[in-house]
Amino acid sequence: MSQTTTGLLDVLQSIVTASGDSGNAPVLMMLGTFKFSVATAVFREYVRTSEYRWAAVERFGQLDDLQYTGPGPDTITLPGTIYPDWKGGVQQVDTLRAIAATGVPQRLIPSQGNMNAFFVIERIKETQAVFKPDGTFRKQEFEVSLRMFSNGAQGQ
């Protein structure tokens, strides 16, 4: 392959990854318009925590009496790694930060399509490692923390 062809392929790849297009890579999950895939940002784990609230009433000489008061927070944590020289590019975490900064809940759609809920991005953690001589990184680890959004409607 010639140097011109290789340079053109690099430019086309950067356009595809800048648009967040997953190309032919399967989409693991979508958060709003952001696609988690091998071609963008892939998470290595999906950790979901569902909490339930119980109010305690203390009783003398006995166990506390518990009363269910409703659901608590429902959170998802997505840790992952991006190798921008291979796939994903360097802008994926910044794209997630821009989505979070809008303050708008985003629809979460896993690849199975079994969840139809809105989530907000509560936290994004980023670690850069393995640097090139020019200071750019070869490895970027991230952790995105999501929380289910409730608009106050019953059952959400």
Provide the CATH number for the domain around residue 54: 2.40.30.200
Query: Rounded to two decimals, what is the model's pTM?
Result: 0.75
Q: What does the alpha-carbon distance between residue 136 and residue 129 come to, in Å, rounded to a whole number?
A: 9
Over 90: is that where the pLDDT of 156 sits?
no
42 domain-assigned: yes
Q: What does the alpha-carbon distance between residue 4 and residue 1 come to, in Å, rounded to a whole number?
A: 8
pLDDT for 7 equals: 47
Overall domain count for the chain:
1
Q: Report the SS3 class of residue 7.
A: helix
Higher pLDDT, 54 or 138: 54
For 55-109, the pLDDT digits (tens) are 999 999 999 999 999 999 999 999 998 888 877 678 889 999 999 999 999 999 9
156 domain-assigned: no
Q: Report the SS3 class of residue 42.
A: strand
pLDDT for 56 equals: 95
List phi, psi (to 5°) of 15: -65, -45
For 22-43, the pLDDT digits (tens) are 556 688 899 999 999 888 888 9
Q: Which domain holds residue 131?
A: 3-148
